[in-house]
Amino acid sequence: MRVVVTGMGIVCSIASTVPSFTRALRAGRCGIGPVPDPGDGGPRLAALVKGFRFKDAVAARHRLPEETRRGALRAASRSPEPLQMDLVAAMQAFEQAGLHEAKADPERMGLVVAGHNLSSGYAHDLHPKYEDNPAHLPARFALHFMDTDRVGTLSQVFGIRGEGYTVGGASASGNVGIINAGRLVESGAVDVCLVVGAMTDLSPMEKRGLATLGAVAGVEEPNKARCRPFDEDHEGFVPGQGAGCVVLESARSAAARGATALAELCGYDLKLDANSLPDPREEGEAKVMVNAMANAGVGARDIDYVNAHATATPSGDLAELAALRRALGDSFGRPWVNSTKGLVGHCMCAAGVVEAIATVVQMRHGFVHPNLNLRHPINDDCRLAPGRLRDADIRYALSNSFGFGGFNTCIVLGRER
Amino acid sequence: MTNTQIFETVKENVLKVLPDLRPGDVTAEGTLTDLGANSVDRADVVTMSMEDLGLTVPVSEFQEVHDIRSLVDLLARHS
């Protein structure tokens, strides 16, 4: 059964909608900037969402029925902002998929929220109140601290009554979500499935922990640091705020509803690496790329573009390019390769969904976005996108996501004819 | 603290939790449920009011609350 993408939505540091994301990718806009020194040795750079106002973002979805907008405000006005961003991204995707007009059977609609440990920053912020008097914790805390609050709230707003849950795979969570949703559709469990790459609200303690592992850029000298995927001077990732949503749907359901297929989820693979560490490994990464292409029924020479995981950690970038060479063989230098993280930072659990959206956007609009801050490439054989916009005819693309603890994932997206 | 002051605090929080209401909708004789509050909304009004008033009331005591007046009375007993 063919699975297609019929809707997309995004809120991130460089865009508040998919059309503005498209313009930002074209322009190579960077959402990364300095943040106040937390004073604990944690990250001093971040790609933050600026100027988000939930009420306005809901009002902007004026094509959705007033009942849906009112339901969103009622359900989430006092929710933590990260959930509100997830909801707004999902409202955009729901609208683009036309699910408010040509409706799907509520029991045939699913919801997969990709991510875990999503609300640590929220819990951190409430801790002083708890210390002061535990009885004054907001009653909603018991709901809001759970990752599954995102599932519950979004399902209420959209009236989703089919299968739903959260899935986790560290930084690969977004792709884990897309793969799970793809399987729900393929298996016939649902006709339509929303996949939400959930905004990950890290606490200062968690950010400091990541810095301890040496994975974060700009801890020492934020003014000189950049996010530099594939550059010899890469020094780590920059945390990014982002929420994304894609609607996956069986081609039959899309046709029956008259929804436009934006792209096809042609294949995928997800494999553990039997490895609890943050260490990326070439062999396991290559394996999922090879298996995903086989699952899609395409060969290495069919791949025109690779949206790399490429967080800009030295070991990660090197392992991924070595894996790509192994997976593509003689075609290694053929597809364009770029890293969206250079623009939006590392959106953590949402990254896979944000990057799947970036892939579909580039595919549909015929370009590859620049690789930012790439002065001295770590590999001369790979066709790394330059620092400026390039036109590109993309029929098939890979989008990689890898996570601490050996989560290796690759999805194959294809352009709809 | 007078019952009137406590009522005003509760009312303020009801309007925060249920922003669609008009101030005149919230009366001592009314119930939170009739105003459209769900179970968590009601608990939120309680915790927010306790915080604003600087009170701590054991959770079990709220079982006796059946309308806004009895909520105000309970909070007043602990003030």
pLDDT tens-place string over residues A210-221: 999 989 998 777
- Residues A44 and A39: their CA atoms lie apart, in Å, by 9
Question: In this predicted structure, what is the pLDDT of residue A123?
Answer: 97
- Of A78, A129, A133, which is closest to B56 when you measure between CB atoms? A133
| A184-218 per-position pLDDT tens digit | 999 999 999 999 999 999 999 999 999 999 899 98
- For chain B, what is the mean pLDDT? 95
Contact A74 B56 (CB under 8 A): no
| A292-345 per-position pLDDT tens digit | 999 999 999 999 999 999 999 999 999 999 999 999 999 999 999 999 999 999
**Which token pair is B45?**
């009004």
CB atoms within 10 A of CB A171: 27
Which of the residues B15, B45, B51, B56 would you substitute to probe the A interface, choosing the one with the greatest number of A C-beta atoms within 10 Å?
Answer: B51
Question: In this predicted structure, what is the pLDDT of residue A47?
Answer: 97
* pTM of the shown model: 0.97
Contact B47 A74 (CB under 8 A): no
| A87-105 per-position pLDDT tens digit | 999 999 999 999 999 999 9
Helix (H) or strand (E) holding A95: helix A81-96
- How would residue A225 be classed by pLDDT, with cut points 50, 70 and 90? confident
- Residues A219 and A228: their CA atoms lie apart, in Å, by 14
Contact B44 A133 (CB under 8 A): no
Count of residues in chain B: 79
Look-up of token digits 């809901």: A58
- Express as a percent the part of chain A with pLDDT over 90: 96
Residues 5-64 of chain B whose Cβ lies under 8 A from any Cβ of chain A: 16-17, 19-20, 40, 43-44, 46-48, 50-51, 56-57
| CB-side neighbour CA atoms (13 Å) of A318 | 10
- Residues A182 and A398: their CA atoms lie apart, in Å, by 16
CB atoms within 10 A of CB A380: 7
- Of A78, A136, A143, which is closest to B47 when you measure between CB atoms? A136
On chain A, the residues whose CB falls within 8 A of the CB of B44 are 78, 138-140
Which of the residues B44, B46, B71, B74 would you substitute to probe the A interface, choosing the one with the greatest number of A C-beta atoms within 10 Å?
Answer: B44
| B14-62 per-position pLDDT tens digit | 999 998 899 999 999 999 999 999 999 999 999 999 999 999 999 899 9
- For chain A, what is the mean pLDDT? 97
Which of the residues A140, A144, A153, A156 would you substitute to probe the B interface, choosing the one with the greatest number of B C-beta atoms within 10 Å?
Answer: A140
Question: In this predicted structure, what is the pLDDT of residue A222?
Answer: 73
- Of B19, B40, B57, which is closest to A140 when you measure between CB atoms? B40
Task: Measure B37 CA to nearest chain A CA, in Å.
Answer: 11
Contact B50 A78 (CB under 8 A): no
Question: In this predicted structure, what is the pLDDT of residue A377?
Answer: 97
Answer for the pair A413, A298: CB distance below 8 angstroms, yes or no: no
pLDDT tops 70 at residue A179: yes
Beta strand segments in A138-261, E? 164-167, 192-197, 242-250
pLDDT tops 90 at residue A414: yes
- How would residue A417 be classed by pLDDT, with cut points 50, 70 and 90? low
pLDDT tops 90 at residue A224: no
Q: B3-17 vs B68-77: helix axis angle to the nearest 10?
A: 120
| A371-413 per-position pLDDT tens digit | 999 999 999 999 999 999 999 999 999 999 999 999 999 999 9
Question: In this predicted structure, what is the pLDDT of residue A223?
Answer: 73
- How far is C-alpha A408 from the geometric centre of its chain's CA atoms? 15
Contact B17 A137 (CB under 8 A): no
Q: Interface pTM (ipTM) of the complex?
A: 0.92
User: Phi and psi for A89 in degrees, rounded to 5?
Assistant: -60, -40
Q: What's the rounded mean pLDDT across residues A231-242?
A: 95
Which of the residues B40, B59, B71, B78 would you substitute to probe the A interface, choosing the one with the greatest number of A C-beta atoms within 10 Å?
Answer: B40
Q: What's the rounded mean pLDDT across residues A136-150?
A: 96
Candidates A314, A311, A315, A331; CA nearest to A400 is A311
On chain A, the residues whose CB falls within 8 A of the CB of B71 are none
| A262-292 per-position pLDDT tens digit | 999 999 999 999 999 999 999 999 999 999 9
pLDDT tops 90 at residue A144: yes
Question: In this predicted structure, what is the pLDDT of residue A315?
Answer: 95
Contact A139 B47 (CB under 8 A): yes
Contact A74 B48 (CB under 8 A): no
